[in-house]
Structure 1
């Protein structure tokens, strides 16, 4: 049984315009739809990178949504592909040290003179969402407006679904937040709850589609309550296809079963 998976894709290589693609890597589903040509779409500027080690119990995902060209997304994918061994070394550590090491690596890379010089030579810029899960903890690093949701009944009871805050006017590439005197980005960590936790990353084509049938996270996760992870991702992509979406959409979706008890208030 395979324990490790690696996957990368850049929209300029295969646009998936008018075509739904759903692939499975271990427990993780990657769904892609390039948009409808009837709505005027002819390119795809999304990209993603996925690393999984089931034996060491972690996943690492980069989701990108570029504009003006896919060059900035391609630069980030190829840059992190060259550092996949370093990523694996970080995630071989215990969760607390793993996330500290990952964040340090990402910041050092994005602020390096070499990388910023490469950014200045590409056309366009990209939103960049990086997420890692190890054990019962999740970490993310976010520049721009890609979305990371977490679904669990205990969180849903309080109306919590979204982990990162979408930030507009933040990018990496030709226009680059890391060129500013104060680079702007956000990071966070979240303890997963006992039971099934559903981690779901998406670019904005899903939630900003005409009709906005999936603009509310509850409507997204309602689809998953009726069918499997893979079938549900297909349903989401078919839905926006039917609504004549132009923008491309990329989804990364997986479930994590946590056996340990999660933190509760002292009087619970």
Structure 2
């Protein structure tokens, strides 16, 4: 906490961990986590967490508040290939709003390897003269078939 008080400025924090068929996350601030899968996309569901403004770690620190403000959760991944993607606001605030909607990010990544998808996203925002820094981390997870519920009854 003392070291945070000495920092110039503030930062957001997003931690995502996949264990087995579950995705766990902890988020402070305005970073984004997506879980892309065709079954979820059919319902327009892409985003795992929501950006939170006025939450920070640094000189202004949520953990200095009487009640710290953050979000966390657990999401079960779908059977088959899931693509997980973490990003800072630079990607979604790019001029031209090319990636302001989660579906546009998924469309750019869905048929590529995780590395190629990230490279493509970064090339597009560079071409559109992104103003803020952008960090993008992505990986794909294949969840094998689960035991059916009927066999447990």
TM range, normalised to the smaller chain? over 0.9
Give the Cα separation in 1 of the matches to 2:13 and 2:85.
15
Q: Is the 8 A contact 1:193 1:261 kept in 2?
A: no
Q: Is the 8 A contact 1:147 1:201 kept in 2?
A: yes
Q: 1:179 to 1:130 in 2, by over 3 A?
A: same
Q: CA deviation at 1:151?
A: 0.5
Q: Is the 8 A contact 1:194 1:262 kept in 2?
A: no
Q: 1:184 to 1:193 in 2, by over 3 A?
A: same
Q: Is the 8 A contact 2:83 2:114 kept in 1?
A: no
Render the CA deviation track for 1:128-185: whole Å, top value 9, x for unaligned.
Answer: 0011111100100000010000001111111111111110000011001111111101
Q: Does 1:236 align with 2:124?
A: no
Render the CA deviation track for 1:209-252: whole Å, top value 9, x for unaligned.
Answer: 10011111111111123432222211111111111112111100
Q: Is the 8 A contact 1:197 1:256 kept in 2?
A: yes
Q: TM-score, normalised by structure 2?
A: 0.92
Q: 1:261 to 1:179 in 2, by over 3 A?
A: same
Q: How many residues align?
A: 149
1:1-268 equivalences under 5 Å are 116-261=1-146
Give the Cα separation in 2 of the matches to 1:263 and 1:162.
27
Q: 1:226 to 1:260 in 2, by over 3 A?
A: closer
Q: TM-score, normalised by structure 1?
A: 0.54
Gaps of at least 5 residues in structure 2 are none
Q: 1:138 to 1:262 in 2, by over 3 A?
A: farther
